[in-house]
Amino acid sequence: MTAILAIETSCDETAAAVVIDGATIASNIVASQLDLHAQYGGVFPEVASRAHAESISDVVAQAMTQADMVYTDLDALAVTQGPGLVGSLLVGINFAKGLALATGLPLLGINHLEGHVYSLWLAPAFSEAVFPVLALIVSGGHSELLVMRGHGAYQRIGGTIDDAAGEAFDKVGRLLGLSYPGGPAIEEAAKSGAANAYHFPRAKTEGAYDFSFSGLKTAVLRAVTIQPSGGRRAKRIRGAEKGAQLRDDINISDVAASFQEALTDALVARAQRAARDFNANAVYLSGGVSANTMLREKLRAKLSVPVNYPPLTLCTDNAAMIGAAAHFRYLAGHRASLDIEARASWRLSEDVYAD
């Protein structure tokens, strides 16, 4: 049995969890900063790192108590090393280093995106993967398509060339005056809307497996805001993103449903093509946007291979997924030194620990 205490502070959730054998959650604590950031309509980095610093020791203590464990019951410590906000990552990394020093436990630095992929391993019905699988990670900061050929063996075949899928949800949500984060709010509004009310673009990209969502966001903006004529148009449109002069004849639910339809169509089309081209045995959907029911259902309907996704509570950021990923890295002999640094951008690829 391997017990790992994992810490995650890459964005706006302060999280700690104890995971057994990369599959069983002994504890999973997430302190959300949502209330702090809602007023800004996005994550405010300085506010995030201060809030992490205030709650990290409590969150870790709660994770140990909930797991009913003491440090000598653990085999290793894991912490998200990147990608993410540097100030936020540093709080978790420094805390983990201190714990490693005090307890003598080995430390592992984990890639946040790898964590999202391994959230699948924590689903109650999950049985071991039959590689290769296609991993589609769709979160607030990333949209990535990877072929996974074994534990820790990734080939990145595509990703967004501009906005991440969750970022598009958040920006359109803000434009429509919905609550933050936009993803769940748009999903809710879309329930009573018509998905064919507007035809928003499904962007073509040069790379066969790449995504682009900024054109879609602009198309929504043009459809729902008052368009002044003449040379001041572009400026006014950019302004509308913040203040939003919404037309009074639009139906927010119809816009939400049509936007969600366009965005999920684009994701599903790329996943379909990639699964076929790379002979994937399954699709592993993860990241905050994987909570979206329309995306889940469409993928299941359109793909000829099984589509797996994490339980709802593990779609958005948490430390259990970091503990699950760390388990397989631990088995492979990976260990971090005590001078590891935060990595603001860090791609998940074959040589993820190179350089």
Residues that bind Zn ion (CB under 5 A): 139, 317
Site for ligand KG4 in 297-326 (CB under 6 A): 316-317
Of residues 210, 165, 195, 207, the one with CA closest to residue 183: 165
Q: What angle do CA 37, 39, 43 make, to 5 degrees?
A: 30
Letters for 160-179 (x = contact with ligand KG4 by CB under 6 A, - = none) are ------x--xx---------
Q: Is 183 in the site for ligand KG4 (CB under 6 A)?
A: yes
The residue (of 49 and 139) whose beta carbon lies closer to Zn ion is: 139
What is the C-alpha separation between 345 and 354, in angstroms, rounded?
Answer: 14
The residue (of 169 and 209) whose beta carbon lies closer to ligand KG4 is: 169
Q: Is 288 in the site for ligand KG4 (CB under 6 A)?
A: yes
What is the C-alpha separation between 262 and 305, in angstroms, rounded?
Answer: 22
What is the C-alpha separation between 92 and 78, in angstroms, rounded?
Answer: 10
Binding range to ligand KG4, per CB under 6 A, among 34-42, 52-60, 137-145, 272-280 = 137-145
Residue from 22, 115, 287, 323 in contact with ligand KG4 (CB under 6 A) = 287
The residue (of 22 and 166) whose beta carbon lies closer to ligand KG4 is: 166
Site for ligand KG4 in 3-22 (CB under 6 A): 11
The DSSP symbol for 272 reads H
The two tokens of residue 298 are 């469409």
The listed partner (Zn ion, ligand KG4, none) that binds 169, CB under 5 to 8 Å by sort, is ligand KG4
The listed partner (ligand KG4, Zn ion, none) that binds 170, CB under 5 to 8 Å by sort, is ligand KG4
Q: Are 288 and 254 in contact (CB under 8 A)?
A: no
Of residues 192, 190, 248, 207, the one with CA closest to residue 224: 248
* E-only strand ranges, the chain: 3-8, 13-20, 24-32, 76-82, 107-111, 133-138, 143-150, 153-159, 283-286, 307-308
Instruction: Calculate the CA 56 to chain-centre distance.
Output: 21
Q: Is 291 in the site for ligand KG4 (CB under 6 A)?
A: yes
The two tokens of residue 115 are 């964590």
The listed partner (ligand KG4, Zn ion, none) that binds 291, CB under 5 to 8 Å by sort, is ligand KG4
Which residues share a beta bridge with 150? Answer: 153
Binding range to ligand KG4, per CB under 6 A, among 55-63, 153-161, 183-191, 203-211 = 183-191
The residue (of 109 and 141) whose beta carbon lies closer to ligand KG4 is: 141
What is the C-alpha separation between 43 and 56, in angstroms, rounded?
Answer: 18
Least distance in angstroms from the C-beta of 316 to ligand KG4? 3
Least distance in angstroms from the C-beta of 80 to ligand KG4? 10
Q: Is 184 in the site for ligand KG4 (CB under 6 A)?
A: yes
Q: What are phi and psi of 252, to 5 degrees?
A: -55, -40
Q: Helix 214-224 to helix 252-277 angle, to the nearest 10 degrees?
A: 160
Q: Is 140 in the site for ligand KG4 (CB under 6 A)?
A: yes
Q: Is 83 in the site for ligand KG4 (CB under 6 A)?
A: no
Binding range to ligand KG4, per CB under 6 A, among 62-70, 87-95, 210-218, 285-293 = 285-293
Site for ligand KG4 in 221-260 (CB under 6 A): none
Interacting residues toward ligand KG4 by CB under 6 A: 11, 139-141, 166, 169-170, 181-184, 187, 287-289, 291-292, 316-317
